[in-house]
């Protein structure tokens, strides 16, 4: 039995996809980024919109995150920082259509939390001790 263990190189497979640099010639491609809420289709203006990004680079490419800093690179979608637009966007999957990828529950939670925190800053926190009757007897 001289079976030798075939050690395969477990390194990253170098798929050298030489991307042909398709340089558009003769097109003054100066697109002005229009930030429009995916829910109500109005531009954010001065208020500023929530930015949801499908990450385009890095280790978690394709992941959808709520970009609070506005610095993440990738495909972005914008939402008014209002509970109405967040609810509408989540309900009608506006973000998923815009980003062409399913958004996770974490993103949905983050969005809700963002608008909730802004709207009801001093919301009474529900007691975590529910279920205990105040008095018995
Ligand atoms: Zn909106």
C-alpha R_g of the chain: 23
Where are the domains positioned within the chain? Answer: 50-119
Q: Which residues, by Cβ under 5 Å, contact ligand 1, an ion?
A: 37, 39-40, 80, 85
* From the candidate CATH numbers 3.40.190.10, 3.60.15.10, 3.30.70.980, 3.30.1230.10, the one assigned to the domain spanning 50-119: 3.30.1230.10
The pLDDT of 19-42, averaged and rounded, is 73
Q: Confidence band (pLDDT; 50, 70, 90) for 120?
A: low
User: What pLDDT band is residue 131 in, cutting at 50, 70 and 90?
Assistant: low
**CA 22 to ligand 1 center in whole angstroms:** 36
What is the CA(42)–ligand 1 centre distance, in A?
6
User: Out of 68-82, 86-100, 109-123, which region has the weakest mean confidence (pLDDT)?
Assistant: 109-123
Q: How far is the CA of 64 from the centre of ligand 1 (A)?
A: 19
Q: pTM here?
A: 0.60
Q: What digits encode the pLDDT tens for the residues 48-67?
A: 899 999 998 787 899 999 99
């Amino acid at each position: 039995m001289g079976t030798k263990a075939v050690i395969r190189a477990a390194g990253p497979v170098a798929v050298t996809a030489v991307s042909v640099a398709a340089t558009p010639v003769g097109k003054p491609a100066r697109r002005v980024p229009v930030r429009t809420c995916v829910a109500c289709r109005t531009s954010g203006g001065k208020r500023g919109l929530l930015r949801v990004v499908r990450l385009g680079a890095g280790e978690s490419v394709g992941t959808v995150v709520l970009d609070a800093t506005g610095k993440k690179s990738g495909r972005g979608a914008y939402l008014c920082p209002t509970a109405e637009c967040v609810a509408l966007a989540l309900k009608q999957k506006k973000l998923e259509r815009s980003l062409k990828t399913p958004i996770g529950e974490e993103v949905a939670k983050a969005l809700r939390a963002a608008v909730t925190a802004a709207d009801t800053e001093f919301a009474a926190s529900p007691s975590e001790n529910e279920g205990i009757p105040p008095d018995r007897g």
